[in-house]
Structure 1
Amino acid sequence: MLPPRLYLQRTRVELEDDGYRLSRDEDDPGHDSESVDSFEQALEMPRGCQRAPQSHPEPQSCATMISERVTRSTPLPNMDTQALPPPIVQPQSEALANNNVGYRTFRTGAESTCILTSACYFTKVLTVRRTRGPTRGKLAQRVIDKDGRLKVPISPQFRAAVGEHASKLASKIGFEVRTHVMDLGVRRWKALDDSVKGPILQRLTDKFDLQGDPIDVDKAVATQCGRRISNYTYKLKKKYDKLVKAKGAEYARSNPPGGVKPEQWTSLIDKKWNDKKWQKQSKANTNNRFDKKSKHRCGSKSLPVRVVEMMEGTDGVVPSLEKIYKSTHFNADTNEWISPECEDIHDEIVRIEAEHNSQDGAVLITQEKLSVKVFKAKSGYLKGLGMRPSSTVRSTIVGSVNNNEYVTHLEKKVDEQDELIQEQGEKIQAQAEGIEAANATIAELVEAKEQQGRALASVLEYLKNQGYTGY
């Protein structure tokens, strides 16, 4: 049998529990490392050595070696008063052939007790906590397993996913593009190959019932996929800049962040971040974002989802622009606006609406037209409402946009005409010079012909004087 002191030292060293603390009786300032080493050497018996036979009976199983489970709340037994577990007596040939080293695991509650046993001695007790397993998408999958595919309406007014499962769809799309899009350097979602987009869209439709017009559904999903890629690459760019600043471009290129595949990382570096055209566009976009002084507080809930929730119980009537804007730019907890500019815009919304509706015989201004007056026209989108414009407002917006485009087109045409006139003037001047040179050549030829005629006439005159008649 092992001395109790050595058994206690062996157990204390190999007990892997961060929350375990030694008691006063277990504290041993005179710990002898050499004795532990000699104990380990005693266990590693050379092949062919025979252990002295013991009189202890052979246990029925490895589980009978421990009568009580060892956990965080169970202190170690007092080894001075309790006998050590008996060794296992086994023929040497069987022990060497089977090399009986195994694990026995007992689970109770949130802990697992793992017991390492050997053919000769009980050597190790490990108390292992259960770790948290994967949680991504578990809530959505639980609902899908219970109710089937999640219904996600695609509103024709917003051409976007709305309803209670819209956020789950956005989360699933984000996971799909991060995991399965290898070419993250692509500029647009529609530029991806169909062999990449097809399986992603199929996995989405397997879990979500996208309800609505097929055209609206396709465009809504494509828009969401593009945004997820953009958001993901934006976060990766921040990490890339940090790595470049700390350890250089070569290190950053060869060390992608966790969860990012090397081909995804190099695609972003080569096709986007090191591209001069992309850098120029990125700088312009950054400057434009800095020009925006008003922010919103929508959070994870998109503006279309928020507006649709406000439309419930109103027979589909669009809420007032003033109400929507205040809900996204005013903090009710602190009773303050996000910024002074937000308050100014809110006051302007109220003022324009009041001025229009106070006129005699005026028709109440629609929220769509109010959005165009306050936030200016934008093709295909109503600012502040998050929705597509109706046909009447769309014609106004398109007309305004078309007028601006037409003016730009005319200016471009004028510049082109100026260049063309200049080129034609140069050609005319060159042609005039050519004509002048040709006239000079013609004059020279005429003069030469006249000289030739005079010479011929003088020759004929001479021949006549000599009596030559030509016969």
Structure 2
Amino acid sequence: MFLFAARKIEKKIRGKSRGLRLDRLITSANGQLHVDFSSGKPKGPNVEMFSTEIGIVVRSHSPLNSKFDVDISRPYVKDWMLKRMRLRFNGFRHKLSEEFKSFSDKKDALENRPKYLDSQDYWVFLCDRFDSAKFQNHSDKNKNNRGELPVHRGGSKLFDQHMMEMEVMIGYLGNEDFENGSEPISEAEICIKVFRNKSGYLKGLGIVMPQKTSSSSSSNVVSPENIELKEKVEHQDQLIKELQVQNAKIMAIMSKFASSNIGSFNMNQDFQSF
């Protein structure tokens, strides 16, 4: 009789962002990427990468103003960045908590500090924290609360970016004053303008090659593509509403979480530990 040791199969997962795509864009653009703020929030095509860079700052303390053209002296800009850093910090510590749970016991965890965490002293502090009964009770309660939230279907893109893209798409759909002899803009062409194409692949449509406009087409005909796109815009509008409701629930849970000693965030104390 032969006994074979079970071999653990590690699932391939996406590693932490290192900002390589951003660095390539900065190199190709020969300068910083501009970020606009409106109503106290950043807007524009660079918002997603700006938010990702903030997550990297939490881990590595890279100065933001070396890569982005953004005036951090304005109070509302600074407030937004600090809020985003708090969210990233809590997310990073949650990831470390999941790492701790993957070990058989506290001793095993202490001997296997995550490679992306530089400080052994901070890992010891976190292991003591994660192993405490008080933390585990809070963790169980928060886990139950998160289980009641609807499933997020918007990907990593921010809610504001979804809303901005939807407004642009509605603007194209609402423009019915076509020139004589021109064809109404197609679904694929609108998606190219809003989402930008990449190697013939359109987000939400797959691999699609937009057809050239024909001068012989009637200007008064509403194409099936426009009708279908209107339905997709309505679906995206519903998605944004669901995301807003979910975001409100998440912020309520985080506010309750931050009010307790567990999960409290202090910029001066916590960041010095990294």
Provide the TM-score with structure 1 as the length reference.
Answer: 0.32
Alignment check: 8 A CA contact 2:19 2:56 kept: no
- Output the CA distance in 2 between the equivalents of 1:218 and 1:280: 34
What residue in structure 1 maps to residue 266 of structure 2? none
User: Following TM superposition, by how much is the alpha carbon of 1:314 offset from its aligned partner in structure 2, in angstroms?
Assistant: 6.4
Mark the runs of 5 or more structure 2 residues left unpaired by the alignment: 1-16, 172-232, 249-274
Assess, with a 3 A threshold, how the Cα gap between structure 1 residues 263 and 177 changes in structure 2: closer, same or farther.
Answer: farther
- Output the CA distance in 2 between the equivalents of 1:229 and 1:165: 21
User: Following TM superposition, by how much is the alpha carbon of 1:166 offset from its aligned partner in structure 2, in angstroms?
Assistant: 1.6
What letter matches 1:175 in structure 2? I
What residue in structure 2 maps to residue 141 of structure 1? 23
Task: Report matched runs for 1:392-411 at 5 Å.
Answer: none
What residue in structure 2 maps to residue 311 of structure 1? 167
User: Structure 1 residue 151 and structure 2 residue 9: aligned?
Assistant: no
- Output the CA distance in 2 between the equivalents of 1:290 and 1:143: 38
Computing the radius of gyration from Cα coordinates, the structure with the larger value is: 1
- Output the CA distance in 2 between the equivalents of 1:154 and 1:277: 40
Per-residue CA deviations over 1:386-405 (Å, capped at 9, x if unaligned) read 8xxxxxxxxxxxxxxxxxxx
- Output the CA distance in 1 between the equivalents of 2:73 and 2:132: 38
Q: Secondary structure at the match of 2:35?
A: strand
- Output the CA distance in 1 between the equivalents of 2:47 and 2:110: 36
What is the aligned counterpart of 1:383 among 245, 255, 260?
245
Alignment check: 8 A CA contact 1:153 1:211 kept: no
Mark the runs of 5 or more structure 1 residues left unpaired by the alignment: 1-134, 181-199, 316-320, 330-341, 343-374, 376-381, 387-471
User: Structure 1 residue 175 and structure 2 residue 56: aligned?
Assistant: yes
- Output the CA distance in 2 between the equivalents of 1:152 and 1:136: 20
- Output the CA distance in 2 between the equivalents of 1:279 and 1:298: 30
Assess, with a 3 A threshold, how the Cα gap between structure 1 residues 310 and 176 changes in structure 2: closer, same or farther.
Answer: same
What is the aligned counterpart of 2:115 among 251, 255, 258?
258
Task: Report matched runs for 1:55-134 at 5 Å.
Answer: none
Root-mean-square deviation over aligned CA pairs? 3.3
- Output the CA distance in 1 between the equivalents of 2:102 and 2:246: 35
User: Following TM superposition, by how much is the alpha carbon of 1:215 offset from its aligned partner in structure 2, in angstroms?
Assistant: 2.5
Task: Report matched runs for 1:190-205 at 5 Å.
Answer: 200=62, 203-205=63-65
The structure, 1 or 2, with the larger RCO (C-alpha pairs under 8 Å, 6+ apart) is 2
What residue in structure 2 maps to residue 39 of structure 1? none
Q: Secondary structure at the match of 2:102?
A: helix
Aligned residues: 169
User: Following TM superposition, by how much is the alpha carbon of 1:275 offset from its aligned partner in structure 2, in angstroms?
Assistant: 4.5
What is the aligned counterpart of 1:206 among 30, 50, 66?
66
What residue in structure 1 maps to residue 239 of structure 2? 327
What is the aligned counterpart of 1:161 among 42, 45, 48?
42
What letter matches 1:239 in structure 2? E
Q: Percent same amino acid among aligned pairs?
A: 25
Q: Secondary structure at the match of 1:291?
A: coil
What residue in structure 1 maps to residue 77 of structure 2? 217
What letter matches 2:50 in structure 1? L
Alignment check: 8 A CA contact 1:324 1:384 kept: no
What letter matches 2:94 in structure 1? Y
User: Following TM superposition, by how much is the alpha carbon of 1:234 offset from its aligned partner in structure 2, in angstroms?
Assistant: 1.7
What is the aligned counterpart of 1:301 among 157, 165, 172?
157
Task: Report matched runs for 1:10-49 at 5 Å.
Answer: none
Alignment check: 8 A CA contact 2:106 2:127 kept: no
What letter matches 1:301 in structure 2? K
